[in-house]
Amino acid sequence: MAYTLQQLSDLEDIRTLKHRYFRGIDTADMPLLGTLFTEDVTVDYRGGTYRVRLSGRADMLEFLANSFHSGAVAMHHGHMPEITLTGPDDAEGVWYLEDIFIDVEQSYHTIGSAIYRDVYRREEGQWRIARTEYDRVIEVTSPLSPESTITAHHLAKAGRKPHERADIGHLIEWTA
């Protein structure tokens, strides 16, 4: 299929949007994250022992700020985007996620992968995430080794400190 210059530009803008999402999470860049979602964004993350379901930009930002905080270390890589333009201001995307999450305070380590399925909408000339969901492909958790030393910890500086965090338990369903 031949793409127009506008379509190629839109595809690149959507890829950049998702890359900013991953970087924003890992660096607790809340001002950046606030620009990436529609006001009515919906979320459904299905992990090995959890499910996160929420609606609205405010809840999404609270969830992210209270998940990727000063007591965490995170790395998210999005690979192999499959983006389909479904209209002049609408698109869908599938991404393969590879991630690492370390809860420094609870001393556990999670590695995994997931398949993201997103819906994007252009608003006021900017592509934003209108719906995002994933299903885990792999999720492995283990205690953080006592011999492990974290020598770089960006979220310790940039993430919410314990006294700034809010309870987000109402957004997460835990399973056995």
What's residue 27's pLDDT? Answer: 98
Instruction: Assign 44 a pLDDT band (cuts: 50, 70, 90).
Output: very high
Instruction: Assign 64 a pLDDT band (cuts: 50, 70, 90).
Output: very high
pTM over 0.75: yes
What's residue 173's pLDDT? Answer: 96
The answer on pLDDT for 41 being more than 80 is: yes
Strands across the sheet with 172-174, in order? 72-87, 90-103, 108-123, 126-143, 37-46, 50-55, 172-174
What's residue 115's pLDDT? Answer: 98
Distance between CA 151 and CA 39 in Å, rounded?
Answer: 37
